[in-house]
Structure 1
């Protein structure tokens, strides 16, 4: 497996499809990176030379694309800021409810988790 910034990307796939294995790089960004690096998008990752891998890595750093640990830390800090200032979005994140205005009477099971029925205890 080829390694870029310590992340292993699959050898048998096209480089265009392998780059999105890096957190923070999607299909569109992968195309742009390969275009700037001058690497053919149809070549398999295993066939890349060391020089081409270095070119791809330098393009990622020069374009200022934030990837992996830095991006995860940045997103975590943004959520922490929202919860600390007690804004509406922060409150929703804290309670594990949908953040962007979705309905919660029905659906929203992805955020709320498995349904827990609250039953009434009958008389004995």
Structure 2
């Protein structure tokens, strides 16, 4: 099992798919990593040599922000918005949708399960 950026990536998948298991790497970034390191994206991870894995690991460490650093930066950005007291920060604070979605109906993922109102008629 190859370990890149602190994540065990699956060995039976193609390289460009396996790299997307790392937080912060999507399909486009995974393909660009394969191109810049000279690794064939269609090869399986278990077919890679140690040198290939090392090249991928060094490229990710040097050029892409992933996992803990990325999560920390996102958390700091959200905390900054909340401290400023701007509209987006207030929405984060209240646990409501931040990007202008309606909340009269829907938004259950963000608001949590519906709370029944006592004595409401059907």
Both proteins in one fold, TM over 0.5: yes
How well do the aligned residues superpose, as a CA RMSD in angstroms?
1.2
1:92 alignment counterpart: 91
Gaps in structure 1 of 5+ consecutive residues? none
Gaps in structure 2 of 5+ consecutive residues? none
1:3 counterpart SS class: strand
Mapped pair 1:5 → 2:13:
no
2:50 alignment counterpart: 50
Where do 4+ consecutive residues of structure 1 move more than 3 Å? Answer: none
| Structure number with bigger Rg | 1
Q: Superposition pairs for residues 1-124 of structure 1, below 5 Å?
A: 1-62=1-62, 64-120=63-119
Q: Distance in 2 between matches of 1:25 and 1:107?
A: 30
User: In the TM superposition, what is the alpha-carbon distance from 1:58 to its structure 2 partner?
Assistant: 1.9
CA contact 2:5–2:67 (8 Å) conserved in 1: no
Q: Distance in 1 between matches of 2:85 and 2:75?
A: 16
Structure 2 length-normalised TM? 0.94
